[in-house]
Amino acid sequence: MVTGDGAYIKKLNRNFILGKIVEHGMISRAELSKVTGLNKATISVQVAELLDTELIFETQQEHNVVGRRPIMLSLNRKVGCVLGIDLDYKEITYTLSDLLGFPLFSDTYELNSSNYDEIRELIANQIKSYQIKSADRRYGLVSVVIAIHGTVGKDETIFFIPQHQWRNKNLKADLEKDIEISVHIENNANLCAFAEKIFKHHHSDNLLCISMYSGIGLGIIMDGEVIKGYHGYAGEMGHMVLFPDGLPCKCGNKGCWELYASEASLFSLLSQKMNKKDIGYQDIQHWINTREPEVCEHMNRFIKHLSIGLNNIINLYNPETIVLNSELLHLYPNAIEEIKANLTSSVSQYRELVISDLGKNASIMGACAFGIKKFLEIPELSLELSDRLLPIETK
């Protein structure tokens, strides 16, 4: 039983009710009372206050039954916006979404520098431009969430970004000095896992999401909660050592998993082997389709090295759902079957292994969903996936 003063209990009830309204999309007061277990008087008071804040609105549901049409309650998605930012190595992606996660504007800008101050100023200016775009809404831009491809502490400070060689940067504090808005910093793999849970695998409380693009990151959800570890750095499985005397890594070790099983590592290797600069997914698709011998050989090694790391992770976490976020695996016929064939240990147990449908949008979708959940202060969030992705304009 939850105990506390009246204001605290009232806030808990408010958040619980609002969460159920979001979950159901449309729901009547009577049904709210049933699904929450709260009495009708409490529902009535809370709904009146939520209507006053314009966070929800009323509609009458169409039906063919004789009698009064029920009045339905829904979240007012148009009263505020959240901004998700994916800070990667060579580009920054911004997506402004409404309060149900539907994107309103999306842009990607190339990065030609790793200078911290330059990038901080660039991000600050873009946030200000999105504040202007959100100014006509009651709550305006309510939250900014930045996905970092590196280690982020529980206090949201950036410990290390290998690709940019940033160490101990407080981007949150530096941005909030110039901009009067809540800024959150989170590891991109955690946000990818969060997106998979919120948009796709709603009922999976034990989920692992492996992001395989510029490196390898692991987002861990256990018992419905994102696992961050003591300092917040849990999930850096890309730097799990596969080969003690292997290739040198920017982290300081040798033989790290991401040097053998990330998309960036395979692209770099095939660029050398095929003597072709700036290869893309279309090149690899062509080589796979034409069964180019050297490419097929390296793809087989890529699958093998990926499977070795997966076997270790499965033994550590015994997950329900494993999501591999990789565009490359979508190009490779029977990728999942070949990976499963390599997971032959009788000890390794999991329920399902899938390739993500969210792709490179997962991180920024997770960032937007994270911002929505923070703003609404609801205990659970579940959003629909359909019609979400907009074309991204490159600047």
Q: Mapped to the 3 state alphabet, what secondary structure does 164-227 carry?
A: CCEEEECHHHHHHHHCCCCEEEEEHHHHHHHHHHHHHCCCCCCEEEEECCCCCEEEEEECCEEC
Give the pLDDT confidence score for residue 388 in this predicted structure: 52
Ordered by start, the domain boundaries in the chain are 6-75, 82-395
Query: Nearest to residue 58, comparing CAs of 195, 232, 50, 66?
Result: 50
Q: How far apart are CA 312 and CA 369, in angstroms?
A: 30
Task: Give the SS3 label for residue 325.
Answer: strand
The count of other CB atoms within 10 Å of the CB of residue 20 is 19
The domain 82-395 is placed in CATH, from the list 3.40.50.970, 2.60.40.420, 3.40.50.620, 3.30.420.40, at: 3.30.420.40
Per-residue CA distances from 174 to 52, 85, 180 (Å): 35, 16, 11
Give the pLDDT confidence score for residue 395 in this predicted structure: 33
The count of other CB atoms within 10 Å of the CB of residue 267 is 17
Task: Please say whether the beta carbons of 161 and 149 come within 8 A.
Answer: yes
Record the pTM. Answer: 0.90
* Phi–psi pair at 16, nearest 5 degrees: -65, -45
Angle of helix 6-24 relative to helix 362-376, nearest 10 degrees? 140
Query: Nearest to residue 124, comparing CAs of 57, 190, 185, 171?
Result: 171
Task: Please say whether the beta carbons of 163 and 149 come within 8 A.
Answer: yes
Task: Please say whether the beta carbons of 241 and 253 come within 8 A.
Answer: yes
Look-up: residue for tokens 């999105």? 130
Which residues touch 35 (CB under 8 Å, ≥6 apart)?
20, 24, 27
Is the Cα dihedral 113, 162, 355, 363 positive or negative? negative
Q: How far apart are CA 253 and CA 257, in angstroms?
A: 11
Give the pLDDT confidence score for residue 391 in this predicted structure: 36
The count of other CB atoms within 10 Å of the CB of residue 163 is 17
Give the pLDDT confidence score for residue 70 in this predicted structure: 80
Q: How far apart are CA 24 and CA 99, in angstroms?
A: 15
Which residues touch 225 (CB under 8 Å, ≥6 apart)?
none
pLDDT tens for the chain, residues 1 to 395: 455 578 889 999 999 999 999 999 999 999 999 999 999 999 999 999 999 999 999 987 665 556 677 889 999 999 999 999 999 988 999 999 999 999 999 999 999 999 999 999 999 999 999 999 999 999 999 999 999 998 999 999 999 998 899 999 999 999 999 898 999 999 999 999 999 999 999 999 999 999 999 889 999 999 999 999 999 889 989 999 999 999 999 888 999 999 999 999 999 999 999 999 889 999 999 999 999 999 999 999 999 999 999 999 999 999 999 999 999 999 998 999 999 999 988 888 999 999 999 999 999 999 999 999 999 999 989 998 765 544 333 33
Task: Please say whether the beta carbons of 178 and 185 come within 8 A.
Answer: no
Task: Please say whether the beta carbons of 47 and 17 come within 8 A.
Answer: yes
Give the pLDDT confidence score for residue 147 in this predicted structure: 97
Q: How far apart are CA 74 and CA 64, in angstroms?
A: 21
Task: Please say whether the beta carbons of 169 and 156 come within 8 A.
Answer: no
Q: How far apart are CA 70 and CA 72, in angstroms?
A: 6
128: amino acid identity, one letter: K
Q: How far apart are CA 252 and CA 239, in angstroms?
A: 10
Look-up: residue for tokens 């490779």? 332
Q: Classify residue 62 by burial, with Cβ atoms within 10 Å: 0-12, 13-18, 19+.
A: exposed
Tokens of 83: 């901004």
368: amino acid identity, one letter: C
Residue 53 DSSP label: T
Q: Specify the CATH architecture of the domain 6-75.
A: Orthogonal Bundle (1.10)
